[in-house]
Structure 1
Amino acid sequence: MINVGLYYKVKEGHEKEFENKFNEVVNFLKNNYPGLKQAKLYKSVEEPREYLIYTEWDSLETFRKFISSYEYKGTVDYGKSIIEGRPYHKVFQEINS
């Protein structure tokens, strides 16, 4: 299993739009990418325009399949209109003990 943190800063006035789009994308993923285990949206306490999307995937391959998909590219293109700066993500892999 892997965990991915996706970090975004949203343009002022687009916070609710970003939150609604997150819900739409998660619903799509749940129906089309069975490797997605869960996705949660967090808002920064100190900077309410900064968000973290935390996801869990069954494998790195499933996540890579998603980020190379047409749907992902469409979301990225749409996001350019409401995101400030360049978003980034970090991938962590679970260590089995």
Structure 2
Amino acid sequence: MSADMSPAEPEGTGRVVFLIRVPEDRQAAFLRAYEEIRHLVADGVPGHLRDQVCRSADDPEQWLITSEWDRLEAFRAWEATAEHRDLVRPMRECFTEARSLKFTVVAETAKGERS
């Protein structure tokens, strides 16, 4: 680990990853539910920066939702609210499996960036 990548608790942006399974017969409902809430979250939830919904190229029932937050605590605060549970309920009803992972970004590299 380089000197600038300390193992101490970082204060960078937060990344939340949901690995989910959505049966083919529920995928249209899942995408409709995502469409219904995506701008509400993007425009109205403090700390939210962006999100993506992705479908596996190898398994059509495996999906990935990622979201980026100005800090992980912003997501945790929103996740604890009844508003969050109510808003995402239509999406969650389409899942047969779900796993949530939360990370703090400690380093990032973009094309053309050199320190």
CA contact (8 A) 2:21 2:61 kept: yes
**What's the CA shift string for 1:31-80, capped at 9, x where partnerless?**
22131100011001111111101110011211011211112212454345
Q: For residue 9 of structure 1, what is the aligned residue in structure 2? A: 21
Q: Max radius of gyration: which structure?
A: 2
Give the superposition deviation at 1:83.
Answer: 1.3
- CA RMSD in angstroms, aligned pairs only: 1.9
Gaps of 5+ in 2: 1-12, 109-115
Alpha-carbon distance in 1 for matches of 2:36, 2:29:
11
Q: 1:36 aligns with which of 48, 53, 59?
A: 48
The aligned runs of 1:36-75 (5 Å cut-off) are 36-75=48-87
Q: TM-score, normalised on structure 1?
A: 0.84
SS in 2 for 1:45: coil
Change (3 A) 1:90 1:80: closer
Q: 2:103 aligns with which of 85, 92, 95?
A: 92
Aligned residues: 96
Query: Does residue 25 in structure 1 map to residue 37 in structure 2?
Result: yes
Gaps of 5+ in 1: none
Change (3 A) 1:96 1:45: closer
Runs of 4+ in 1 over 3 A off after TM superposition: 75-81
SS in 2 for 1:83: coil
Identity of aligned residues (%): 22
Q: TM-score, normalised on structure 2?
A: 0.72
CA contact (8 A) 2:33 2:90 kept: no
